[in-house]
Structure 1
Amino acid sequence: MIKTILFDVDGVILSEERYFDASALTVWEMIHSDAYLGLAGDDFDPAPQEPVIRCVRDTVFDQDKVLDLIKSRGINSNWDMVFLAYSYQIIRLCERLLPAKGAEVKELLRNQLDRDGLALLRDWARHEAADFVIDYAAFTGDFAKGNAQKAEMLTYLNEIAKERIGVDTQMFSRTSDLWELCQETFQEWYLGDARVTSSIGRESFQKGKKGFLADEIPLVDPAKLRELLLQLKEKGITLGIGTGRPTIETHVPLAELHLLDVFDPNRVISASHVLDAETSYPEYAPLAKPHPFCYLKGLAGLDSDDKSVLLQNLPIENPREVLIVGDSLADLLAARAIGCQFAATLTGLSGQAARSTMEKEKADYILNDVSEIMQIFN
C-alpha cells in the first residue's frame, strides 16, 4: 500500500522547456558576451525576443540532440548541462590555441578556470584564433566515444582535454570554479535581475535579464491536478517533492498555480537542499539525481539530519509504501536505488518517445501525464 508519493517537478508538473531555454542562453552568453569569452559570431543581448531564444536553443543544443544525449546518460541538472556544453567548447578553443599558446593553455587548464582565466582565453582567441569556429554538434560525437554516465560525464571532459590538448587536468568537475560560474550565470537567466540576488548572493553580472520564473508552463491543468492531489491526501497519502530546481524556483511557480500548499512542507526538497548537503559533506558529492538523496530527504523530512540521510541503508524498509513520480532516467535510477515503485510520465523532453526506454527499464507504471496517477489506485 502506497503511503508516500514524491513528485519531480520538471517534466511532471511543469514543462522543462524554459529551463532548457535558459540553459542554452547561458552557454550562448558565456561564449559570445565580452564579459566571458566574447567570441565573434552572434551579437549578445540580455533580453532576446522569442525568435532569438528559439534560434539560440536550436543552435546550442543542435536541435536538442545534445540534450537528448546528456539526459540519456542520467544527467538531470540544468547546471550540469550548461557546464558540459560550455566546457566542451572551451576545450575545442584551447586545442585551436595550441600552436600559438601551447604552454600557457596547458598551464591554464591545470588550475581552476575563473573569470580571470576566461578573460585570458578571450584575449588569446582574438589575437591568435580569430578563425575559430564553434561546433556545438561535435559534442555528441565526442561523448559517444565513451560510456560515461551520470556525474562521470563531467569528469569525462578531463579525458577529452587529455586527448585533444595533451594536458593532465582534473579541473572539469562539479566542484570547480567554472561549474560554479556556469551555475550562477544560469540563475541570472532563469530568475532575472529582480530575483537572482536571493539565490546566488549577488546581482546579475550582466544586467537586463527578465527571467523565466513568471513564464512557467504547467503540463496539466493546475485546477485538475490540485483536485487529484487532494484526493490522494484524502486517502491518507503524504505528498512531497524531490526536484532539481532550487527552492525559490520550486516555491514561486507552484504557489502561483495554487499547488504548493497541497504538499507537506517538510517534504519539499530542492536542489538548494542538495547543495547544502554537498557543502556540509563534500566527501559524498555529487548528490544530485540520479543519486537518491533528494528523495530520501523527502522521506525523512527537512527537519532530518543530512548525515543520517546519507547513511540510510538501501533499499529502504517497506519500499512498496513509496512511489516516486518522474519523467527521466535519473528519477528512475534514484527510485531503483531506494527500492521503491516508480511511475514515469511521458511529458519530459522526449515525450512519448520515452515510453520504450521506460518499458525497457521496467518502470512500475507509465503515465501519459501526471493526471493519470489515479489509475494506480483503481
Structure 2
Amino acid sequence: MIKTVLFDVDGVLLSEDHYFDASALTVWELLISDHYLGLAPLKFRTDVHRGEIKLIRSDVFQDDQVLSYLKSRGLNANWDMIYLTFSCQLIELLAQLDDRDRTAEWLSSPIDRSVLQEMGQALREVNPTIRYQAFLENFHTTAETKQGLMNHLDVLAREKLGVETSIFAEKGALWLVCEHVSQEWYVGDSHVQQSTGRPSVQLGKKGFLADEQTLAPAEEIARLFSRLKEKEVTIGIGTGRPQLETIQPFQHLNWLSYFDENTVITADDVLRAQKAFTDKGSLSKPHPFTYVMALLGRDRGERSSVEARLPMAGADEVLVVGDSLADLIAAREIGCQFAAVLTGLSGEKARADFEKHEADYILDDVMELERLL
C-alpha cells in the first residue's frame, strides 16, 4: 500500500522546455557575447524571439541529442548540462588557437569571466569555428556518468590541448559563470539578485518564470493532489529546481497549499547540505538525498538526511514519480517504488530504458497516478 508519493517537477508536473531553452541561450551567450568570449560578428542582444530560440537550441544541443545523451547518463541538473556543453566547446576553440603555453596558463587557475574575455580576445585573432556537433563526437566513446563526465573534460584537454589540468572536473569559477548566466535567462532581471545573490551581468532578460507550461491542465493536477490527500496519502516534492523556481510557479498555479513546506525539497536544500558536508561530494540526483529529505522533512535537519541508513525502513510504501533514470536510481537506493512518466524530454522513447531498468510502473502522464493508486 502506498502511503507517500514524492513528485519530481520537471518532466512530471511542469514542462522542461523553458529550462532547455534557457540552457541553450546560456551556451550561446557565453560563446558570442562580449561579456564572455565575444565570438559573434554582430552585437549580442537579448530580445530573441521564439523562432530564434528554437534555432539556437537546435544548434547548441544538436536537435536535443546532447540533452538526451546527458539524461541517459544520469545527469539531471541543467547547470551541469550547460557547463559540460560549454566547456567542451571551449576546449575545441582553444585547440584552434594552437598556443600551448598560453592555454596551459589559463587552465592552471580558476576560469572566471575576465579569463573568458582574455581567451576571447586571443581567439578572435584566429577566427575559430564553433562546432556544436563536437560534443557528441567527443563524448560518445566514454561510458562515464555524472562526475565522470566532468573528469572526461580534463581528458579532452590533455588529448586536444596537450595540457594536464584538473580545472574542468571541479565545479569552480567557470561552473558558477554558467550558473549565473543561466539564471539570468530563466528568472529574468527582476529575480536574478534573489536567485543568485549577485547582480545581472547582462540586463534585458524577461525570464520564463511567468510562462510555465504544465504537463496536464493545472486544475486537473490540483484535483490529483486533493484526491491523494483525501486518501490520506502524504505528498512531497523532490526537485532539481531552486526554491524560487519551484515556489513561485506553485503559488501561481494554486498548488502550494497542498504541500507541507517541510516536504518541498529543492536544489537550494542540496547546495546547503553540500556546503555543510563537503566530504560527501555531490548530493544532487541520482544521489538519494533530495528524496530522503522529502521523506524525513527539512525540519529534521540536513544531517539526518545525509546520514540516513539506506534502504530506509518502510520505504516500500513510498512511490517516487519521476521522468529520468536519475530519479529511478535514487528511488532504488532508498528502497522506494518508482513510477516513470513519459512526459520528459525523450517522451515515449524513454519507455525502453525504463523497462530495461525495471521501473515498477510506467505511466503516460502524471494523471494516470490516480488510476494506479
Task: Please classify the TM superposition score into its range, dividing by the shorter chain length.
Answer: over 0.9
1:148 to 2:144 alignment? yes
In structure 1, the partner of 2:57 is 57
1:151 CA drift (Å): 2.3
Give me the whole-angstrom Cα distance separating, in 2, the residues matched to 1:337 and 1:218.
29
In structure 2, the partner of 1:105 is 103
| Aligned alpha-carbon RMSD (Å) | 1.1
Count the aligned residue pairs. Answer: 373
Counterpart of 1:151 in structure 2: which amino acid?
A: Q
In structure 2, the partner of 1:180 is 176
Q: TM-score, normalised by structure 1?
A: 0.97
1:66 to 2:62 alignment? no
1:104 CA drift (Å): 1.2
Any conservation in 2 of the 1:238–1:264 contact (CA below 8 Å)? no
Any conservation in 2 of the 1:345–1:367 contact (CA below 8 Å)? yes
Give me the whole-angstrom Cα distance separating, in 1, the residues matched to 2:143 and 2:343.
26
Any conservation in 1 of the 2:324–2:344 contact (CA below 8 Å)? yes
- Structure 1 stretches (4+) deviating beyond 6 angstroms? none
Give me the whole-angstrom Cα distance separating, in 2, the residues matched to 1:170 and 1:238.
44
Identical positions, percent: 48
Give me the whole-angstrom Cα distance separating, in 1, the residues matched to 2:91 and 2:278.
26
Counterpart of 2:355 in structure 1: which amino acid?
A: E
Give me the whole-angstrom Cα distance separating, in 2, the residues matched to 1:40 and 1:221.
41
Counterpart of 1:118 in structure 2: which amino acid?
A: L
1:357 CA drift (Å): 0.8
User: What is the 5 A alignment of 1:31-46?
Assistant: 31-40=31-40, 43-46=43-46
1:152 aligns to what SS in structure 2? helix
Deviation per CA, 1:161-187: give whole Å up to 9, x if none: 111112111111352110011011101
In structure 2, the partner of 1:209 is 205
Give me the whole-angstrom Cα distance separating, in 2, the residues matched to 1:102 and 1:170.
16
Aligned counterpart for 1:363 among listed residues 351, 359, 363: 359
Counterpart of 1:102 in structure 2: which amino acid?
A: R
Give me the whole-angstrom Cα distance separating, in 2, the residues matched to 1:193 and 1:369.
33
Aligned counterpart for 2:123 among listed residues 116, 122, 125: 125
1:241 aligns to what SS in structure 2? strand
Q: Aligned pair in 2 of structure 1 residues 141, 42: CA closer, same or farther (>3 Å)?
A: farther
Give me the whole-angstrom Cα distance separating, in 1, the residues matched to 2:70 and 2:244.
25
Give me the whole-angstrom Cα distance separating, in 2, the residues matched to 1:282 and 1:142.
30
Give me the whole-angstrom Cα distance separating, in 2, the residues matched to 1:53 and 1:43.
17
Give me the whole-angstrom Cα distance separating, in 2, the residues matched to 1:238 and 1:138.
46
Unaligned stretches of 5+ residues in structure 1 = none
1:370 aligns to what SS in structure 2? coil
Aligned counterpart for 1:307 among listed residues 290, 303, 306: 303
1:10 to 2:10 alignment? yes
Q: TM-score, normalised by structure 2?
A: 0.98
Counterpart of 1:371 in structure 2: which amino acid?
A: M
1:41 CA drift (Å): 5.5
Give me the whole-angstrom Cα distance separating, in 1, the residues matched to 2:295 and 2:47.
40
1:43 CA drift (Å): 4.9
Give me the whole-angstrom Cα distance separating, in 1, the residues matched to 2:316 and 2:265.
21
Any conservation in 2 of the 1:344–1:358 contact (CA below 8 Å)? yes
In structure 2, the partner of 1:198 is 194
Give me the whole-angstrom Cα distance separating, in 1, the residues matched to 2:345 and 2:252.
24
1:10 CA drift (Å): 0.2
Between 1:272-281 and 1:341-350, the stretch displaced more is 272-281
